[in-house]
Every structure is written in structure tokens, then in C-alpha cells.
Amino acid sequence: MGFQYTNIKLEWKCLRKELADSLSSCRVLVVGAGGIGCELLKNLVLTGFKNIEVIDLDTIDVSNLNRQFLFQKKHVGKSKAQVAKESVLRFCPSANITAYHDSIMNPDYNVEFFRNFQLVMNALDNRAARNHVNRMCLAADIPLIESGTAGYLGQVTVIKKGQTECYECQPKPTQKTFPGCTIRNTPSEPIHCIVWAKYLFNQLFGEEDADQEVSPDTADPEVAWNPADAAARATASNKDGDIKRVSTKEWARSTGYDPVKLFNKLFKDDIMYLLTMDKLWKKRKAPLPLDWTEIHQLESSQEEAFGTGLKDQQVLGVQGYAQLFHRSVETLRSQLIEKGEGAELVWDKDDPPAMDFVTAAANLRMNVFSMNMKSRFDVKSMAGNIIPAIATTNAVIAGLIVLEALKTLNSDFDQCRTIFLNKQPNPRKKLLVPCALDPPNPNCYVCASKPEVTVKLNVHKTIVQALQDKILKEKFGMVAPDVQIEDGKGTILISSEEGETEANNNKFLSDFGIRNGSRLQADDFLQDYTLLVNLIHSEELEKDVEFEVVGDAPDKAPAPSVPEEGKNIANGNKDSAQPSTSSKAAAEDDDVLIVDSDEEPSSSTMEASPESSNRKRKHHDADTDATASKRKRLDQQPADDDEDIIALD
């Protein structure tokens, strides 16, 4: 039976009896029951897999229903894993499916749990969980099939301990962030205003974060001005808005969350305060303050107030966004009151009042800084980090996962490939591009025989809590690290046992005799992972940089080695506070590249996107130029190479 897709033919053959029998007896784990996961579960049972376990922490949202076909409207709010199991059993009742409504990062799912399976398949939407599953499969020595989609783009790859790169083997570009002074003082792109508006939501209605301040930044290094002089020049503004430099939330509460007072503070008084920072505007266009009374004295047309076309794709005028700001503040204020004293709201792009607030505030700030305003649809896409999910892409990728699974279970590992699904045919009319799997990176800080990394920091300024949270957990993906100093005494610096080393948290590393050249041994017993950390003391780190990873450890993305731009890949549906299988939020995407080569590329020649996050799977090679990036053709590839054939024996 054949399936024609553009110029790509997937040739299916009947499974050998031995392979068919192994499918009915082997146990497989599916991590994620979302866009890819639904398609994958369907494919697995219809291919003959009988013993499947699926885990997902997420619940079903209305926005999932357009592509996650195992779910219906009546299932909204229920466990994805449980409903997916029930739906699959309706058309394949002979399957033995176990569902877990839980995070795969829960310590209950330890190495012994993973050893129960012959194969693990990821259908995830966040990097933290992907890193964790990668490490658990390495520790358990179980093959892992990794996958991701973003719009029309997708990819599938196979990871096997000792034979291929692991998910964390290569450098990944750091997720793009913006300096606080840019967000607060000198936004130049719409995304800066959208980030500011999300911060503002948290400062007013959610959990306050000192790193998300929205008021003018008087410590901006570009300013180099005299605050006393500026305060004198801002007298008029102070009289108008009665400005007092208190926390945003405290000030808002004192006004009873009055929308007009909030408007004038944010878009008039704070802007006038910014204008006193003369040096900021010598080479930039100065912002133009907005005044609530003046805006509403202007004559406005119906078009400005309501826009034209589909509601979410309208771009309103200043008055329209001012009214939207007023309405959304009143609604959010009511929600706070209903929740009671001390309550906080959580920003969710699918919550209309929250989305209205961010849309209005971001667009008003864009207007202040002379940018073209954006529709609610555009703001939501950027604010939620959304990559449109295409059901067809998920279906194709899920099919490719099963193909690679069959090869793996049939002991045809040399036939396994990394496969990229492209948005458009390349010059050779290919949509699917198979790439040879790369061998492990001997310098990988996860799968090397003795993982080791060098970190540059200031031992007199870095506290133990920062070492644990920002370096070991956030940077190196540990879940519950135990750290001892290699000082000949085995001094315990951090313990995963609650309460044992809490007294150390706010002490500086230097308080424990740690200095330039000190070594730490960090163990994560859940991941069965040990990392040696060499410390270099430095007092010359850049401003706002707490540490740097140096040496051979993945740190910075290499320069692109091929001409065509990479794309972001994710199972991209939503940037949830609790992603599908992780209790920790993390926006996720992988990289794909449209490959135009006549010859089979290696996955190491694929270019990474600069928008990607820090631990993305690598599809490029820093030490390889374009001519060296090609590999020999697949032995089974026909001479007439107009079609790619993926065959199963």
C-alpha cells in the first residue's frame, strides 16, 4: 500500500511476523498527549502496539479541539492522558493502555520506571521535560524518539545511548531576552512593548517580581544623568500625577485601581519622567505622552473605536485602545475583589480580560514610542509565544515516529534517521529530508563518560541559592541536585533532602572556602546523573551577568554554516504555566532547516535559529563549513532521486 504526498512516497510493507509479535508484547511510553501525542497514540494501536503507557500533566482546553481529535467539547477541563486513553480504547478495545495525569519530572518516575519500557517516545511542548526524559533514557539505556512541530515544520530523531547525540549534546542558542532598561526606557520594537505589558499585568494584578519592574529605570547605564537635576525638571509632571516612587502595585491599590489614574501614570507621567533623561533622546525619537482627557476630547470615528474586519485582527485607534484598557482594568479589579484580600491573578493568553489588558497596554505604549500598533491576534501570538499548530503536520510527524520506532524495535538501528518536514519543497522537490544520526559529542556535559563543565562566576557575590537554582537547575537541567565540595573533606554544600542545608542558601560561595579553581561534584540521583563543576573566579563579568559557562560545554550557538534560515519547532499550542508533562513552565521549540543538498546531510549540519532557547537540539556544526557538511547518500537511495522512499521490511 502506498501513500503519495507531493513528490514523496512512503512505502509501507507488511510487517514480518517476528516484528508484529514483538509489537504486541513490548511496552512503550508516550510522554505527552497533546497535538502529536493524540496522533501518535492512534498510530501505535493501529500499527499493533498493545502495551502503552501515556503521561501528561495538562488538561484539555477549548483551543485544543481543532487538532487534538481524541478530545471533544465535553472533555474540556479533564485530564488529557485519561481522556486520550478512553478515546483510543473505543476504537481499539484490545489495547492495554495506562494513563498518568502527572508530571514526568515527578520523582516517582525514576530510572527503574523507565527501564520497564523497550522504547520511549516524546510528544512534548517544553524543554525542561525534554531534557529530563533525555537524561532518564540515557540512565536507563532505553532508546528515545524525539519529535516536534511548529506550523508546517516538523522533525523526528532517534536518541540511543553511546550511539547517537543525546538531546543536550550540542550548543543551542540562548532564548532571546531583552535588557530591563530597553523594556522600561527605550523600547524600539513591538515585542518590547508586549513584554512590558505582560510585566505590568503581573505588577498590578499578579505576583510581583523585582526583575519585571515597569517604571522608568533610573539606573540605565546609557543615561549617566543627575537624578537630582532630573527630579527638579520633572516638577510639572509630579504635580500633574502626584508621582511617588513606590511599587506599582502599592500605588495602584492606593487609587483603588482607578483606570484613568493608572492610564495617566503609565502613559503620561512616567513618559514625562523619561523625557527628563535627556541623553536617551539625543539619537532617538522622543516618546509622546498620552493624556486621558485629551484623548477623549478628540473626535473619533466608528472605525477607530471598533476597527474593521475580524475582531481579533482589528487594529484600533488610540481612543479604542484607551477604552479597552479602561474596561479590562475594571474587569481584572473585579476578579481580584472576588478572590479576596491578598489574592493574585495569573496571566493566561486564553483569559479574555488578561489578553485585552496586555493588548491595550502594549498598543498604547507602541503609540507613545511611535511604532505601528498591532492587532489582538498579533499581540497574542507574540505574548503567548505561540507557533500556530497544524493538525496535518502533527499527523505526518506522528507517522514518522512510528516508522522510526519500528526500525528501532526491529534492530535496524543503522537505518534510523533524523527526518525534517519542510514547509515547501526544496529545489529537489523534497518535503521530507532524512539525515544521518550523529555520534555522541565527547564533550557533552550530559552523556559523556565523565560529564564536566567549567563555570566562571564571582565567588564573593554568588550565593548558594543562585548556584542551585540558576546554574544547576536552570542552566544544567538538574531536578534535585546534591552538591559537595571537592576539598578533601567532602563538605556538603547543597542537599536535596529538605531542610538539611537551607542555612547555606544565602551564604556566598567564598564563605565555604570556594575560590578560583575549586571543584564541585553535583549529583542528581533521580536522573542518575553526576556533573563535575570547575569554578573560575572572575570579577570582570559583564553587567547583569551572574555566571558564564566556558570551555567545551554548550554555551553559545555557533555561527550559521548554511545559507537557509532555521525555523523554530515546538508542539506549539500554548505557553502554559504548567506545560503538558512538566510542573515547571518552559516555552519549547526545536530547530529545523530546509535542506537543499543532493546528498544526505547529517543532523549536525542543520542551522539553529537565533530565536531558540538554550538547550535546543543542535542541527549545525560550529567547526564545519558548508562544503564539509555533506554526507554520502543513503545506500538504499535510488539513482532516480526524485522521491524519498522510507521502507519497512
Distance CA 162, CA 105 (A): 23
Q: What local confidence, expressed as pLDDT, does residue 24 receive?
A: 86
Q: What local confidence, expressed as pLDDT, does residue 10 receive?
A: 39
Catalytic residue flag (residue 92): no
When pLDDT is averaged across residues 573-597 and rounded to a whole number, the result is 35
Q: Is 65 helix (H, G, I), strand (E, B) or coil?
A: coil
Distance CA 375, CA 378 (A): 5
Report whether pLDDT(301) > 60: no
Q: What's the grid cell of residue 505?
A: 542558601
Q: What is the mean pLDDT of the chain?
A: 78
Place of cell 531542610: 499
Identify the structural domains of the chain with CATH numbers, from first to last. Answer: 17-173+389-435 (3.40.50.720), 180-225+246-298+309-384 (1.10.10.520), 452-550 (3.10.290.20)
What pLDDT, in 10s, does the model give residues 147-199? 998 888 999 999 999 999 999 997 665 556 666 778 888 898 898 999 999 99
Q: Where is pLDDT greater, at 316 or 20?
A: 316
Q: What local confidence, expressed as pLDDT, does residue 14 receive?
A: 67
What pLDDT, in 10s, does the model give residues 41-72? 999 999 999 999 999 988 887 778 888 999 99
Q: Where is pLDDT greater, at 36 or 561?
A: 36
What pLDDT, in 10s, does the model give residues 393-410? 999 999 999 999 999 998
Q: What local confidence, expressed as pLDDT, does residue 46 receive?
A: 92
- How many helices (H) and strands (E) in the chain? 19, 19
Among the options 38, 137, 181, 435, which is catalytic? 181
Report whether pLDDT(598) > 60: no
CA-nearest of 523, 609, 489, 627 to 560 is 609
Q: What local confidence, expressed as pLDDT, does residue 176 receive?
A: 60
Distance CA 608, CA 559 (A): 9
What string of DSSP letters covers 216-252?
--TT-TTT---HHHHHHHTHHHHHHH------HHHHH
Q: What local confidence, expressed as pLDDT, does residue 243 receive?
A: 41
Q: What's the grid cell of residue 73?
A: 467539547
CB 489 within 8 A of CB 454: no
Distance CA 212, CA 210 (A): 5
> Which residue ranges make up the annotated binding site?
32-37, 56, 64-67, 80, 103-104, 125-130, 166, 169, 444, 447
> Which residue ranges make up the annotated binding site for ATP?
32-37, 56, 64-67, 80, 103-104, 125-130
When pLDDT is averaged across residues 277-288 and rounded to a whole number, the result is 86
Distance CA 318, CA 310 (A): 19
Distance CA 177, CA 103 (A): 27
Q: What local confidence, expressed as pLDDT, does residue 75 receive?
A: 92
What pLDDT, in 10s, does the model give residues 221-237? 555 444 444 444 444 34
CB 8 within 8 A of CB 434: no
Report whether pLDDT(580) > 70: no
- pLDDT band of residue 505 (cuts 50, 70, 90) is very high
Residue type for position 222? E
Residue type for position 270? D
Q: What local confidence, expressed as pLDDT, does residue 359 receive?
A: 94
Q: What local confidence, expressed as pLDDT, does residue 181 receive?
A: 77
Q: Where is pLDDT greater, at 217 or 466?
A: 466
